[in-house]
Amino acid sequence: MNYAIIDGTTVKSTGTFQELFPDTSFSATGINADFLKDNNVVEIIEALDCTEPTQKVITVSPYYVQSEDKVYTVKVESTTADEQTTLINQQWENIRVERDSKLLATDWRASSDLTLSDAWKNYRQALRDITTQSDPFNITWPTKPS
């Protein structure tokens, strides 16, 4: 985990505790809150959630949010229409690859010397129909028969 040393609202430096305080020994139990406060050290947030395909997370220079007492190296931005189209197409491709893998794993059940049960027929058909769903980021996968 990385941390930042703050001076007012300015990020002065970032790194691990060992990088920020190379001449300081830390106990195995970790850093205590008093040390952090005394040295103006705050946690760095390096990942955020976003709603694809309408948003994306981008890397930025470290910035301090005083109300949260945290430093961020990422932020969420809206995607352009072209980016949304690309993300949607990429996600559909990922869905197809996963679908094809699930079908391939059950192909042996559909060989000519076996009788495929209705449950397996329905499951395989539901897999083939997966791309008729409207949102590639919120797929409802069929349940594999037991």
Cα–Cα distance, 64 to 123 (Å, whole number): 51
**Tokens matching residue 38:** 């005394």
Alpha carbons 142 and 133: distance in angstroms, whole number: 12
Residue 55 has pLDDT above 90, yes or no: yes
Average pLDDT for residues 110-126, to the nearest whole number? Answer: 89
- Confirm if 100 and 130 have CB atoms less than 8 A apart: no
Find the mean pLDDT for residues 45-57.
96
Q: Which amino acid is at 142?
A: P
pTM of the model: 0.70
pLDDT per residue over 65-98, tens digit each? 999 999 999 999 999 999 999 999 999 999 999 9
Angle (CA) 110 141 103, round 5° = 25
Domain ranges of the chain: 3-78, 81-132
Decide which of 125 and 18 is more confident.
125
Please compute, for residue 26, the number of CA atoms within 13 A of its CA located in the half-sphere on the CB side.
15
